[in-house]
Amino acid sequence: MLKRQIILDTETTGINPREGHRIIEIGCVELVNRRFTGNNYHVYINPEREIEAEAIAVHGITNERLANEPKFRDIAKSFYDYIQGAELVIHNAAFDVGFIDHEFARLRPALPPVNEYCAVLDTLKLARELHPGQKNNLDALCRRYDINNSHRTLHGALLDAEILADVYLLMTGGQVSLNLAAEQDQAEQGDTGQTAIIRSSKLKVIRASADELQAHESRLDLVQKKGGICLWRN
């Protein structure tokens, strides 16, 4: 049975939808059976209100940038259809889900709250369980799991969703690939259980140098001199 997950992030005009703040960007990355499918979702949204200066300092998105973007009501149905039935994987899920539910409730007719048609997995809660007493924001997790996020100078919904996808897969273990076609290769080759994120089917092969080959042969000689069985030569 296929398991569909949507790694989701939003950017907003401020921190509290009850004060009238709105979503201005949605970024989603789709995984099916822990494989990247490439069927992602990304949209900028005209919030029909001013963006707070504190929020602009975080994500760099201005009202001028969004002036000609669609309003939420224009993209609501396509977004609803995209996430419906999936498990949403979100860092600090209460924040993003709260904003999405607020936007859906504003529509006429309103759309139902997220938890009525999606499961939600909060990676912040998961990280706190795995790493109690430590920093568990996205930057800290990237450092902990050796994920390069040097290109992340500002927050961005799609960029953060892409980074969170890598973090989530490493946090929960398992080998992943760019698309579902890689499942057949894995079935034929066997699952090593190694934790890795593979975003390309073309892997660079690094061959041993002459010095390294000589060192390897010397080690095998040593094994045989001590009466060991050298499987590499048998």
| Residues noted as catalytic | 155
**What DSSP letter does each residue of the chain carry, written as one string?**
---EEEEEEEEESSS-GGGT--EEEEEEEEEETTEE-S--EEEE-B-SSPPPHHHHHHH---HHHHTTSPBHHHHHHHHHHHHTTSEEEETTHHHHHHHHHHHHHHSSSPPPPGGGT-EEEEHHHHHHHHSTTS--SHHHHHHHTT---TT-SS--HHHHHHHHHHHHHHHH--EE-SSTTHHHHHHHH------EE---S-PPP-PPPHHHHHHHHHHHHHHHHTT---TTT-
